[in-house]
Structure 1
């Protein structure tokens, strides 16, 4: 059941991001201003909450990314992605960053925009279908 809940949450987030991207690309100026006023505060608070969870501890490790057996030194990949997208933006060098290296080393963990990713078996009944009915057992 956790897998189904996880898929529901992921699909909801992907759909919200798709909707915001579509609005940014297609909406008129007045609609964009309205969306920006309502969504930008939510997005910035979301970034703040996520980054707060990845603040380094007294040893300089990320408490969220670290495990008992492997410590992850700050800045972790979440902070690196935040900097790349929020600060460096389009001016960031196209060199292979630590985040890209990690994605290449762990392709199953890679975060790919919805338009470019392949559908998983649980998504075969629609754009963001929740569960393949044949995959659910009672």
Structure 2
């Protein structure tokens, strides 16, 4: 993921959380402790899933390597010739992990009309 794009998305998510924490309006009273706890939990979760220098989530990538070992370079069995158009598995380009995708989807994007 491009560093500039990540900064734009992360600042939008953190601005939303800051607005929720501050009440986002003069007519609202202090937020219930549960809301503050949820905001703190989201911030901690997002902090642990920040991308590394290559733009990949350190937690999600580490868990995959820990559980399944390194990514395979491709099929090495003799039957690989049976598959037309066979190519070795390529590394996906860096992108937002699912934690950040959900945060951007719910906190930054405008939800469709009628969805609370």
Instruction: Report the TM range for the smaller structure's normalisation.
Output: 0.3 to 0.5
Larger Rg: 2
Question: TM-score of the superposition, structure 2-length normalised?
Answer: 0.42
Question: TM-score of the superposition, structure 1-length normalised?
Answer: 0.36
Question: Relative contact order (alpha carbons < 8 A, sep ≥ 6): 1 or 2 greater?
Answer: 2
